Chains A and B, each alone.
Chain A
Amino acid sequence: MKVRINPELCQGHGRCYDLAPELFGADEEGYGQVLGDGLVSPDQEQTARLAAANCPERAIDVEET
């Protein structure tokens, strides 16, 4: 699984880095950023889906690889 944030849609609500701090962080203006290469280990998949499902702007793509 791989996660991506669409920077055109992200408005910095921060739900992703609240819910899945191991996968997402914030830039200096508070916009969400994927940590590392965005590859999600099997034990983090649930959290990744939860973060995506809680993004008010639907800015997170979860791609099953």
Chain B
Amino acid sequence: MSEITTSTDILTEEVTHEHSHVHRDDFGAKIGMWLFLFTELLLFGGLFILYMAYRVQYSEAFHFAAKELNIGLGTLNTIVLLTSSLTMALSIAALQRHKKQLSLFLLGSTIFMALLFMVNKYFEWSAKFSHGIFPGSADLMDRDKGEIVFFGMYYAMTGLHGLHVIIGVILLSFMYVFVKRGSVNPDNYIKLENSGLYWHLVDLIWIFLFPLFYLLH
């Protein structure tokens, strides 16, 4: 591991800030972003460990309770997120090729699909709520422990994931503005790339959540 890196290799300008040691380093920015993604991986990893343990402990209850989840909506949401990953990647590709309008369109589509995901999620959750299945509800407390835990895990994991989708919407909206204004452009698009990495992570988490919750039987 003896990579010899010199400070002069660090690309482009020394930005003359108040403290002129703020420099541009796209490669370093990407390293930082991947490291941040690892923290997200471990954050959800903890939840997946819990899922694994409870599924082993309450396998019958899990199978039974999972039937109440809507496979159709789950599959639709999976497709929506996968497609949003596509448009995200295409958006960066377009910007790299100096196709700013196309890039904006694709980025906007990504945001649109993220919102679509949240709308679907809203329908799913509100349907559950109206059936009396929500954390702490009387109906839920009446059920078997395994079912309570199943829905506890369901709300915790899809809830935390949904929160990350919302953060993604905000992040990508900022990127949209930056691309429109030109501060993110074909010569400086690391922010967009890093936002894309975040978005793909949100997709990845769902890729695992979907079969584990919706396809249990």
A and B part of one assembly = no
On B, residues with C-beta under 8 Å from A are none
On A, residues with C-beta under 8 Å from B are none
